[in-house]
Amino acid sequence: MARQLDEQLAARFPPGQQLRVLDVGMGLGTQALRLARAGHTVTGLEDDPALLAAAREALTAEPPGVRQRMRIVEGDGRDTGVHFLPGSFDVVLCHGVLMSVPEPDPLLAGLARMLAPGGLLSLVVRNGDASAFGPGLRGDWAGALAALDAGVRLPGPRTGADDEPDTVASPAQPPGEGRADRLADLTATLAGIGAPLQAWYGVRVFTDAVHPQRPEPDAGLPVDVGMLLAVEERAGRTDPYRAVATLLHLCGVRG
């Protein structure tokens, strides 16, 4: 996701521009810190006390310049209007959050209002068009049937999408937990809030769906992480593979 986000930033903003970034539901602050290190001014919004404490601790270990460019605000992504003025940010990130929100449309509308004209809204969501893959490949046939019937799951725990290495799933977090969203529905929503979809990618095409369990260290199946990431990067941009990824990365641009 980091490479995809960097690609979109490079395509939409002049080289060297210091962007104003809002990371909603920043988790441990992995993405926020990465962007602050790159020279951008970043605000991280988080309401989980444990994640806030971890992010603040990580920030204290950064050089002074990074600490000056990043601030952490305790709050809920649905209350951005309480904390910030409309049009305050060039980039708004909302990664791994929508799956724990029962009704995402008001949240998305509020995030779009935070964007300056031409600003980028970056979303990472669970893929409702492929939600049967995870339970089916784990042999959970009842879960697969339920996903095929509904296409979505009930709200569940945050995925921490930005707190793991790109495209490599956490073994403690089974794929498919949390509510999922369909690409067509989100495309319509983004158009309706004035930030129409400009690009989308699949994330975790093979690592979750085709090979959901990592090999054991003594299984004689060494994982070439570099090759794995290269395959995931290519598949996440290629039809029909990206359509069956566990996660979708959507990029909308404010008109």
Residues 166-197 pLDDT 10s: 444 433 334 446 789 999 999 999 999 999 99
**pLDDT beyond 70 at 217:** no
**pLDDT beyond 60 at 159:** no
Phi and psi angles of residue 217, each rounded to the nearest 5 degrees, phi first: -55, -30
**How is the beta sheet containing 197-203 ordered, strand by strand?**
70-74, 41-46, 20-24, 89-95, 115-126, 247-253, 197-203
**pLDDT beyond 90 at 10:** yes
Which range has the worst mean pLDDT, 11-15, 65-69, 140-144, 217-221?
Answer: 217-221
Q: Which CATH number fits domain 2-253: 3.50.50.60, 3.90.1150.10, 3.40.50.150, 3.40.50.880?
A: 3.40.50.150
Distance CA 215, CA 108 (A): 38
Distance CA 220, CA 25 (A): 38
Q: For residue 247, what pLDDT band results from cuts at 50, 70 and 90?
A: very high
Q: pLDDT per residue over 100-156, tens digit each?
A: 998 899 999 999 999 999 999 999 999 999 988 878 878 889 988 888 887 555 444
Neighbours of 53 (CB within 10 A): 11
Q: pLDDT per residue over 39-77, tens digit each?
A: 999 999 999 999 999 999 999 999 999 999 999 999 999
